[in-house]
Amino acid sequence: MKKDILETKKGNFEITVTVNGELKELSVKNGEFLLDALRRHGWKGTKKGCDTGDCGSCTVILNGRAVLGCLVPAVAAHGGELTTIEGLGTVRDPHPLQEAFVEAGAVQCGFCIPGMILSSKALLDRAPRPTEAEIRKALDGNLCRCTGYVKQVEAVKNASARLAGGKRKRG
Amino acid sequence: MDAKNLKVVNKPVRKMDALGLACGEPAFTDDVEFKGLLHAKLLWSPHAHARIKKIDVSAALKVPGVKAVLTWKDLPRVPHTTAGQGYPEPSPYDTYTLDNKVRYVGDRVAAVAAETLEAAREAVSKIKVDYEVLPAVLEVFDAMKDGAPVIHDEPDSKNIPDAKRNIAAKFDFEVKNGEWFKEADHVFEHSWSIPYLQHCAIEPHVSIAHFDNFGRLVLRTSTQVPFHVRRIVAQALKIPVKKIRVVKPRIGGGFGSKQEVLEDIVAALALKTGRPVKLEYTRKETFISSRTRHPAVCRMKAGVKNDGTITDAEMEITLNTGAYGSHALTVMMCSGSHTIPMYRVKNNIKFVGRSVYTNMPVAGAYRGYGATQGFFAWECLMDMMADKIGMDPVEFRKLNYIKLGEGSPVFKAMGEGREGVEQVITSTGLFEAIQKGMDEIKWAEKRAKYAGQTGPVRRGVGVACMMQGSGIPEVDMASATIKMNEDGSFNLLVGAADLGTGSDTILAQIAAEVLGVKTEDMIVTSSDTDVTPFDVGAYASSTTFISGGAAKKAAEKVRDMILAVAAKILDEKKEDLRLEGGRAVSRKGASCSLSEVANTSLYYYDQHQIAATASHYAHTSPPPFQANFAEVEVDTATGKIRILDYVSCIDCGTAINPQLAEGQNDGAVVNGISHTLSEAMEFSANGTPLNASFRRYKILSAADTPPVRTFLVPTWEPNGPFGAKSVSEIGINGPLPAVANAVYAACGARLFDAPFTPEKVLAALKKTA
């Protein structure tokens, strides 16, 4: 059940949002964007590369869609379900996409990678066996200056094969 | 020697930091919290050239939450360079942390630290500055004229060769063996130009200055050059080196932009307030106020005989260094020293280089470092010469490129900011790279197929060959420390600055190979000036070759110490032992584990820590080589170029980690293709940048990146660690000439100005009609 957004003091709101499967009450500032709110509350995997909606480093999954944290007002996440890179998998228990990026050598500086992986996740959720063109289109909003995208596209292909092959329980 | 007996090196070992990064671990500069952190904001100049007559910060100081406002009056006036180079830097000392003069739109005017970013922004907007606006000069050729505004008229800047004519650096060199162009059957002369280009590391410049328990200043910063940051910040703020610690966390890309020392101002704010302070550039600030590639006009004149002999070559390059001369001399020299030796020139060689101040953004180091500018000219000119004498462009290159055992007078004459070193080529796979590239692109077949096309859409294939260096010989130095732990693992401490390249992993592979262990047995720390030994940093394609050499030497010393202990344990002669599979093994087959060795040394016998530090520098800089091939389609009605296929074959010696080496080259090539097709900073008539965002400054994204195929061509470089040479920079130099040459092959249009936009292609097509 979606509660109303609570104004705790002037210009500060409390929103209720499910972050990585856990229901959280987060204080957000008036006019604050999701990217800044997430980072302020400790989800540092969401990166700030431009703050203008152009680079994709702040991509998170909100209600099943890949969105840019720097363009979504934090209050818009109220009552929603949010996945950040920390929620996809961890070093102890990585998601197949995270493993695929590592194995393909697709992680150089790694700054764009959380956003890139979450865009890939949103893609594979809606199209489990994407073509290369579909992969490139899905990653089009995630700029990378290190890799030339070669190994990242390969990583998504590999992850898709692995996930669709049903060898893993998790999607 | 070759790589076939190696166990760890030359294997696609997992990049050791990759999983943490893929899981969003808080690894970058701004991913940690500091209690009481202040936020910094700078006031940037709105004028291209002005003197600050009066600056009033009283209103800014009254903004709630503001803790400090600094202007030029508050800081020591120390001429220095922001170029993070070895000491003494070959760049002019023409920069002041804050000055009473501004020299480009985006120059520093004042700095604020406040409790919140909003307060800092508000305070910046309340600083009142009374400027005396001075005439500005935006073009290099205007800047050198008599009567041009003098950008550095201050008396205290140092090492500016001709401040009155705005010359930030100059270098001339000539080899004369007779009359110029006497033997040439054909002489060519053209100019090629490159605009202002941005690095576009996805992580912006960000630094946090804070204090340790002893009150020492700690700079946690996104840098390629931690040790140079420590030295230059100490110099600029007049504080002792011992009072500063620089910590390099994971870095979100650099490509040369983070070889610049911009940390002085955040350090000054921290010192003023006694509080931790963060300075994070916005993307717009990164575009305008960090650093760029040097825009260049490169004029080349060369002569060729009908038999394909190149008789003479002359390169005159004029770089725009912007308001300050960061890397002004060295980028300019590398535009010749990395390119001219590529082909044998029979008689005369001449290089004339100038780096010129303008009231424009500041240029600095950028992947390719001058060679990008030089090869655009040289490789296009090669194509024109081949065309004129009716020789296949590949055959013409094969006839002339520098061969194994050959040298060039340029190597000795031109170093980086000083005389170079004499060297000959000790490894080259260029022939194999060319053959591989021709096979992959189907050179002969497509040259024939695409001859005599008539329709509006035409295809062509083009080639370019390149070389680069591997570190700066007799300048760059790196060191590594290895210490052994009880379980037979090792700490590898390196000053080398992994900025996303994977250098931590490949240095671990090199050490692991020597020590007979797995890469996972190496625990790598890079780079912290309190903890790791010195390294000049990540630039000049030096890390694999120079830092790799240090890691190898340190591992060899540690191996020797291990074997001494193992000899006691096994009661064998040291000479009869080797390290293999985590054990010390004797010829007779007796063995003991490394953990037994470690425990013996730490607890039982002749107690000591097995550890060693080694340093490495080199007398040569063995060039990696590349052959690049582009297949393009040109729509002659619209001028649009489409790259159908791009093949890049690289000889980087032994690839320490083939997967990471391929990744380095893919990234370099795509950056180069992006330069070729779309990138250019644009400016208004008064020097204000107009497209300082990813929306307006177009770098290639996944959907518009053409197919790029990297092939490694293995060779063995005798001077490199396990046969390795450099890999990271060279690939960026290929696309401009390879694509230009392919466009010519397709439709007869010669392109001289980057990027190759449809308008420029149409204009070039008009000239052919």
Residue among A98, A105, A146 whose CB faces B23 most closely: A98
Q: How confident is the model at residue A142 (pLDDT cuts 50, 70, 90)?
A: very high
Mean pLDDT for the stretch of residues A131-144: 98
A6 CB within 8 Å of a chain B CB = no
Mean pLDDT per 10-residue segment, chain B (769 residues): 88 98 98 97 98 98 98 98 97 98 98 98 98 98 98 98 98 96 98 98 98 98 98 98 98 98 98 98 98 98 98 98 98 97 97 98 98 98 98 98 96 88 97 98 98 95 97 95 98 97 98 98 97 97 97 98 98 97 97 98 97 97 98 98 98 98 98 98 97 97 97 98 98 98 98 98 94
Phi/psi at B50 (5° precision): -160, 155
The beta-carbon neighbor of B283 closest among A51, A106, A152 is: A51
Which contacts qualify for A93-96: CB closer than 8 Å, 24 or more apart?
A94/B19, A94/B22, A94/B23, A95/A121, A95/A170, A96/A159, A96/A162, A96/A163, A96/A168, A96/A170
Do the Cβ atoms of A109 and B251 come within 8 Å? yes
**Which residues does chain A have within 8 Å of residue B222's beta carbon, measured at their own beta carbons?**
none
Q: How confident is the model at residue A2 (pLDDT cuts 50, 70, 90)?
A: low
Chain-chain contact of B283 with A49 (C-beta, under 8 angstroms): yes
* Amino acid making up residue B236: A
Tokens 């250098």, residue? B503
C-alpha to C-alpha distance for B71 and B76, rounded to whole angstroms: 11
Q: Which of B24, B255, B282 sits opposite A114 (nearest CB)?
A: B24
pLDDT computed for residue A168 by the predictor: 46
> Does residue A89 sit at the B interface (CB-CB below 8 Å)?
yes
**Chain B interface includes A33 (CB < 8 A):** no
Bond from prior residue into B88 cis (ω within 30 degrees of 0): yes
Distance CA B506, CA B657 (A): 6
* A53: Cα within 13 Å, side-chain hemisphere: 7
Query: Which of the four pLDDT bands, split at 50, 70 and 90, describes residue A171?
Result: very low
* Residues contacting residue B507 through CB under 8 Å, at least 6 positions apart: B480, B492, B494, B496, B524, B526, B543, B547, B548, B551
pLDDT tier for residue A166 given thresholds of 50, 70 and 90: low
Q: Do A151 and B255 touch (CB under 8 A)?
A: no
What pLDDT score was predicted for residue A6? 81
Distance CA B737, CA B377 (A): 7
**A124 and B CB contact within 8 Å:** no
Query: Are A143 and B202 an interchain contact pair (Cβ–Cβ within 8 Å)?
Result: yes
Contact A142/B at CB under 8 A: yes
Give, in words, the CATH class of B18-26+477-617: alpha beta
Q: What is the DSSP letter of B633?
A: E
What whole-number distance in Å separates Cα of residue A47 and Cα of residue A53?
12
**Cβ-Cβ contacts under 8 Å, A19 against chain B:** none
Helix then strand then coil, % of chain A, to nearest 5: 35, 20, 45
Query: Which are the contacts of A139, defined by CB distance < 8 A and separation ≥ 6?
Result: A116, A119, A120, A149, A152, A153, A156, B701, B702, B703
In this predicted structure, the answer to whether residue A21 has a pLDDT above a threshold of 60 is yes
Minimum CA–CA partner of A142 in chain B: B701
A12-19 vs A81-83, strand pairing mode = parallel
**In the block, residue with structure tokens 């939450």:** B65
Rg (CA), chain B: 27
Query: Cβ of B671 under 8 Å from any chain A Cβ?
Result: yes
Q: How high is the pLDDT of residue B1?
A: 66
Instruction: Choose the closest CB to B660 out of A103, A105, A135.
Output: A105
Q: Report chain A residues whose CB lies below 8 A from the CB of B14.
A: 102-103
Confidence of residue A11 (pLDDT cuts 50, 70, 90): confident
Residues 6+ positions from B556 with CB-CB distance below 8 Å? B514, B614
| Those residues with Cβ within 8 angstroms of residue B575's Cβ, 6 or more apart along the chain or in another chain | none
Query: B679 — contact with chain A (CB < 8 Å)?
Result: no
Q: Does A137 touch chain B (CB under 8 A)?
A: yes
Q: Which amino acid is at B442?
A: K
Residue ranges of chain A assigned to CATH 1.10.150.120: 89-164
Nearest to B666 among A49, A55, A151 (CB): A151
Question: What CATH number should be reported for the domain whose range is B34-134+199-289?
Answer: 3.90.1170.50
Chain A, 54 to 83: residues with Cβ < 8 Å from chain B are 54-55, 57
Please choose, from the candidates B631, B655, B625, the residue with its C-alpha nearest in 3D space to the C-alpha of residue B644. Answer: B631
Q: Which one, of B649, B650, B634, B616, lies nearest residue B758 by Cα?
A: B634
Q: How many CB pairs under 8 A join A and B?
A: 186
Check if A51 contacts B (Cβ < 8 Å).
yes
CB contact under 8 A, A111 and B203: yes
Q: CA B119, B120, B126 angle in degrees (round to 5)?
A: 90
Residue B250 contacts A, CB cutoff 8 Å: yes
A7 beta partners = A13
Write the CB contacts of B448 (distance below 8 Å, at least 6 apart in sequence).
Answer: none
User: What is the DSSP pairing of strand B522-526 with strand B101-102?
Assistant: unpaired
Q: Measure the CA–CA gap between B138 and B320, rounded to whole angstroms.
A: 9
Is the Cβ pair B203, A141 closer than 8 Å?
no
Tell if the CB–CB gap between A52 and B204 is shorter than 8 Å.
no
Q: What is the pLDDT of residue B270?
A: 98
Which token pair is B678? 């779309």
Binary contact (A52, B695; C-beta < 8 A): yes
For B663, the closest of A51, A108, A143 (CB atoms) is A108
Q: For A52-97, how does the pLDDT look when each residue is reduced to its tens digit (9 = 90+)?
A: 999 999 999 999 999 999 999 999 999 999 999 999 999 999 999 9
Taking the Cβ of residue B643 and every Cβ of chain A, the question of whether any pair is shorter than 8 Å is answered with no
Cβ–Cβ of B201/A110 closer than 8 Å? no
Domain boundaries, chain B: 18-26+477-617, 34-134+199-289
DSSP B730-764: GGGGSHHHHHHHHHHHHHS----BSS--HHHHHHH
Instruction: Name the pLDDT band for A164 (thresholds 50, 70, 90).
Output: confident
Contact present, B17 and B250 (Cβ < 8 Å): yes
Asked if B282's CB is within 8 angstroms of A51's CB, the reply is yes
Place of tokens 């000119």: B381
CB under 8 Å to A22, separation ≥6 — which residues? none
The encoded tokens of residue B346 equal 């029979």
Per DSSP, the residues of B434-455 read: HHHHHHHHTHHHHHHHTTT--S
Picking from B373, B343, B374, B379, the residue whose alpha carbon sits closest to that of residue B738 is: B379
**Alpha-carbon dihedral angle through residues B722, B725, B727, B730, given to the nearest 10 degrees:** -170
Q: Which residues of B touch A109 (CB under 8 A)?
A: 21, 201-203, 250-253, 499-500
| Residues A136-155, mean pLDDT to the nearest whole number | 97
Question: Is CATH 3.10.20.30 the right assignment for the domain spanning A6-87?
Answer: yes
**Is the pLDDT score of A1 beyond 60?**
no
Neighbours of B604 (CB within 10 A): 12
Cis peptide before B527 (omega within 30 of 0): yes
Q: Would you say B267 and B237 are in contact if contact means Cβ atoms under 8 Å apart?
A: yes
Taking only residues 572 to 601 of chain B, the set having a beta carbon closer than 8 angstroms to any beta carbon of chain A reads: none
SS3 string, B406-435, reads CECHHHHHCCCCCCCCCCECCCCCHHHHHH
Whether A147 and B200 lie within 8 Å, measured CB to CB: no
For residue B615, give the H/E element and its range. Answer: strand B611-617
Q: Which helix (H) or strand (E) holds B80?
A: none
Amino acid B417: pLDDT: 83
- Give rounded-to-5 percent helix, strand, coil for chain B: 30, 25, 45
Q: From 1.10.150.120, 3.40.190.10, 3.40.309.10, 3.40.50.10860, which CATH number describes the A89-164 domain?
A: 1.10.150.120
CA-CA distance, B506 to A143, in Å (whole number)?
A: 26
Q: Is the four-CA dihedral A71, A73, A79, A82 of positive or negative sign? A: positive
**Which segments of chain A belong to CATH 3.10.20.30?**
6-87
Tokens read off for B417:
């900011």
E strand or H helix that includes residue A16: strand A12-19
Q: CA separation (Å) from B291 to A52, A143, B148, B250, B386?
A: 21, 20, 24, 20, 37
Residue A145 has its nearest CB partner, among B26, B671, B710, at B671
Distance to chain A for B198, nearest Cα, Å: 11
B201 in reach of chain A (CB within 8 A): yes
A115 in reach of chain B (CB within 8 A): no
* B692 contact partners, CB below 8 Å, separation of at least 6: B283, B284, B287, B288, B681
- The owner of tokens 């952190």 is B37
